A and B are shown apart, each in its own frame.
Chain A
Amino acid sequence: MQYLTDVARSKDLLKVVGHSVIKAMCDGEFLMSRKWAVGGHDWEVHLRPKDHSEGHERPVTLRLVLISEARGGDVKAKLSCRLVDPTGRLKPSKENSKSHKFYKSGDYSGAIQVTGREDLEKSGYLVDDSYTVECSITVLKKAPARNTAAAAAATAMDRDAAMLPSLELHRHLGELLQKGTGADVTFHVSGEKFAAHKAILASRSPVFMAELFGGMKEEASRHIEVKDIKPAAFKAVLRFIYTGTAPELDKKGDGGTSLAQHLLAGADRYGLDMLKLICVGWLADRITVDTVATTLALAEQHGCSQLKASCIEFIAGYLDAVLETEGYKHLEASCPSVLTDILKATLRPTN
């Protein structure tokens, strides 16, 4: 497999407060987002409550603007948007996108219609004179050019690879874990058993290396009891160790967030940095009013500073809603120090 391209993505929420007053803006006037760093470039999103250039209905539109200079001559990017209900009662609206090639600072994409103005007021997304647009920026990255010799070698390798059965080490090891063939250690986690192979665990996790070969009781033991971790999370940890793949969290509905949270803690505990990053990324992309407080507590405890910042940012924007959740009450009890951070963020001027 050769990757010819790659992408960098970033998602954020734009909240418009005081819609009834904003209606007084003239045609074409726009609101500007903060600078947004994606894919090695800086961007802005412009929101026009009345975009007269898009028809007599003057819909609400977004445009993506390149702030920094385009590296490598040009940069291609896509802006996607949809209306979202922060309370979670309504499903997000249909997503609209626009792609554009940017050459220099100040270039901007075509307008993306978020919604017709009259449609907005009929929909349920306008709440308390405010509405929220979820924006996503995707920037195309070219694969780095390879030198001739390396390219020739890679081509030859690819040709050879085509002749050979594809390497499916992760699948084979996954089967080994599932079947337990030759397993030499069994973990007991809250009543569930997980058979595994000491050598594989040790090679992939420094904690397992120390536990299984460090000269303590577990080195000579075939049964190890593990506490303070959910069986599902422990299972996912083992699976990651054997296959390098994380569970498909999106398919688990609301349970995905819970599993991701438990899995993050488990990954951190066993020193699996990649798995931890996967969980952090997944959680950061799916912050909701109901889950943000719990995620914040987790981020604080496990030293995920960026995830923590994202949560605080979110809470500052939806403080009243978050205050009503069970997670927040738990947060007050377990992490009083973050309340100060939330307060500071609340007082900070928003875009």
Chain B
Amino acid sequence: MLNGGGGGQKKRNTKIEPYRHRVETDPKFFDKSWRKLHDAIREIYNHNASGLSFEELYRTAYNMVLNKFAPQLYEKLTENMKGHLEEMRTCIEAAQGGLFLEELQRKWNDHNKALTMIRDILMYMDRTYIPTNKKTPVFEHGLELWRDTIVRSPMIQGRLFDTLLELIHRERTGDVINRGLMRTTTKMLMDLGLSVYQDDFERPFLEVSASFYSGESQQFIECCTCGEYLKQAERRLHEESERVSQYLDAKTNEKITAVVVKEMLANHMQRLILMENSGLVNMLVEDRYEDLTRMYTLFNHVPDGLATIRSVMVSHIKDTGKSLVTDPERLKDPVDFVQRLLNMKDKYDNIINVSFSNDKSFLNALNSSFENFINLNNRSPEFISLFVDDKLRKGVKEANEEDLETVLDKVMMLFRYLQEKDLFEKYYKQHLAKRLLSGKAASDDSERSMLVKLKTECGYQFTSKLEGMFTDLKTSQDTTQGFYASTSSELPADAPTMSVQILTTGSWPTQTCNTCNLPPEIVSVSEKFRSYYLGTHNGRRLTWQTNMGTADIKVTFGNGSKHELNVSTYQMCVLMLFNSADVLTYREIEQSTAIPAADLKRCLQSLALVKGKQVLRKEPMSRDIADDDSFCVNDKFTSKLFKVKIGTVVAQKETDPEKLETRQRVEEDRKPQIEAAIVRIMKSRRVLDHNSIMTEVTKQLQPRFMPNPVVIKKRIESLIERDFLERDKTDRKMYRYLA
């Protein structure tokens, strides 16, 4: 059998020796070790690191630290690096002109590379001795030495920052500079510590910038318009932000922006905004959206900037508005008056929306301005109502429903500004009544839509009577239908057809009860209606308001032409007389019809003096109606139309006496409202002093009108006389509620 050749080589068992750290007893251990490191550092600074042995150098430093030589090592390192930096400083100081920053940058790069390697070699000290003894880590220590030895050295510090600022100045004045070099230099400053960048560079930079922009702003403001100046300021702000993003610290942006804002905008704010021919007012007048946007955006940075703009805008709006509402010429045309207000509102809404970012404070300022000047003219409530009347009469004939809706919404904004909303209500009621009764309302939907807006704005109480008016018309239609259904067999075949509007007292504007003599044909039907109505409504009272009616009359003139005339009730009474008479004097007509003189004269003017509508002829031919004038049918009357509309009853501005009467009626209506408010307040408070009552009453009634303090005082006296209130025994200024 063949032998396998024996076993393999016998395995040697290695025993680990006990730990024995080598004790350095060599008195020159430190010096020898440091020599190694010193020489290595020199090679590192001389760009010869690739020949060095990390293993040897690291181990050397490691052993030095283990043998308690770290303090000496740290001290030697400091001296050594300082020496190298002083050599670098000499080279940097020797650099000529434009090469200064480049040389500084080159040496900085060298130092950083060297620092990285030195830190690596001394990593063991960084990890152990330095944290324990709260020393600065090697890398940071190297940066500190660079800062103190080079950046802040007497011959470099001033030159460095002067150079940086000079380059920035040149860039501001249009030169192209080396931005990359600027970036690396400022980055160096930041690497040395934020305080170096901020204290050594940023602060003088901001000071020099302030000086620069102060000078520039002085120069520009003398020769530029406001718009041009702001455009320049905007450009400078953009340039500074660009500069920060290119080669400064991001946090500087806020600071340099503040400098430009202060020097170019804040310090000249009043002068710019109020600049003649080009300032804010001029921009507003000429709708210069771009300039306004820029002004708003720029002055947003300025303390009180927007407040100043807002203040000037408010003054301008108030002045313009005041001129508008107090111009006697404008008062002649209420519709135009209100349209101009709406246009003005649109204009400023647009400016605020486009240029002022829909700023709420500006919208509020606009609203308070309008409220201020609209109420300067105490006829504004009437004029707004007349404007609405005009739109609701024309309705979709002039614009489609949506446009009408838009206009009404805008009018509501003006309405909100009114301080005497109750006065508006009174006028609106009158105008609405005329529209409804004359059949001039353009659209029932539009009328109700307007009513909804008013209710939304002022509550149910404000519009309840107005809604009652609509209800009355609906009821009237049903009643008339019922009348004819039940009495048709009793009426002659040729009896005129009658339509009756039953108006609830209190819902409709108060009217003088003017009766006149109706034609016999009409009387017979109207009396039948009265019987029917009173028969179906117990306790009712029926009074005819003949001054508010209309009539359609079929006429055959002498020349054979036939027409259907649309006339007022009064005009009908006049015309029917000529069925049995050829010629009538004014006095005879007045006697027969019993129409009040003022109404009758207007009536006859419409029938005899309006060109194209002269169904009557007057002798003599004159412009006015006299008592001894005579009238006859115009047998030569012609018209292209079969239906001829005579003398539309149009709402007119009140005459001064009428205006006074309306205002007195409004004042009278306010008294019970003031009393009701006083009673409500005292009922809940039981005891209250005079001034508090004044305040509370004003607060409660303010949505409708501003109560007159004198009137409030009188109402209090009246309530005391009627034993609703009494004066306190000891304090006559104190009132007590009596249950």
Contacts and interface: CB of A to CB of B under 8 A. Distances in A.
Contacts of A206: 123
Interface in B118-172: 120-121, 123-124, 127-128, 132
B55 A211 contact: yes
Interface string A205-242: 01100110011111110001111101010000000000
B51 to A, nearest CB: 6
A232 B120 CA distance: 26
Contact of B117 (A216, A220, A230, A333): A216
A218 B116 CA distance: 16
B62 interface: yes
Contacts, number: 89
Nearest to A227: B59
B127 A259 contact: no
Interface in A174-193: none
Highest count of chain A CB atoms <10 Å: which of B18, B20, B50, B116: B18
Contact of B21 (A214, A257, A334): A334
B378 to A, nearest CB: 70
B64 to A, nearest CB: 12
Interface in B580-612: none
Interface stretch (A53-61, A160-168, A296-304): A296-304
Interface in B63-106: 63, 66
Highest count of chain B CB atoms <10 Å: which of A232, A259, A265, A269: A269
B523 interface: no
Contacts of A298: 19, 21
A116 interface: no
A93 interface: no
B513 interface: no
Contacts of A219: 50
A261 B49 contact: no
A262 B19 contact: yes
Interface string A327-348: 1001001100000000000000
A262 B123 CA distance: 20
A215 B49 CA distance: 7
A261 B18 CA distance: 8
Nearest to A229: B59
Highest count of chain A CB atoms <10 Å: which of B51, B54, B59, B62: B54
Interface string B441-459: 0000000000000000000
Contacts of B22: 228
B328 to A, nearest CB: 77
A310 interface: no
B54 A214 contact: yes
B58 interface: yes
A271 interface: yes
Contacts of B332: none
Contact of B132 (A227, A303, A330): A303
A303 B128 contact: yes
Contact of A269 (B16, B121, B124): B124
A216 B49 contact: yes
A18 interface: no
Highest count of chain A CB atoms <10 Å: which of B16, B57, B66, B120: B16
A220 B23 CA distance: 33
A249 B144 CA distance: 46
B15 interface: yes
A113 interface: no
A259 B58 contact: no
Contacts of B123: 206-207, 210, 271
A35 to B, nearest CB: 28
B540 to A, nearest CB: 78
Interface of B: 14-23, 49-59, 62-63, 66, 116-117, 120-121, 123-124, 127-128, 132
Interface of A: 206-207, 210-211, 214-220, 224-228, 230, 232, 252, 255, 257-259, 261-262, 265, 268-269, 271, 294, 297-298, 301-303, 327, 330, 333-334
Q: Which 8 A-B pairs have the closest CB atoms?
A: A261-B19, A210-B120, A211-B54, A216-B54, A334-B23, A258-B16, A255-B16, A216-B52
20 contacts: A210-B58, A211-B55, A214-B54, A216-B50, A216-B52, A216-B57, A216-B117, A218-B54, A220-B50, A226-B55, A227-B59, A228-B59, A232-B16, A255-B15, A257-B18, A258-B18, A265-B21, A269-B62, A302-B66, A302-B128
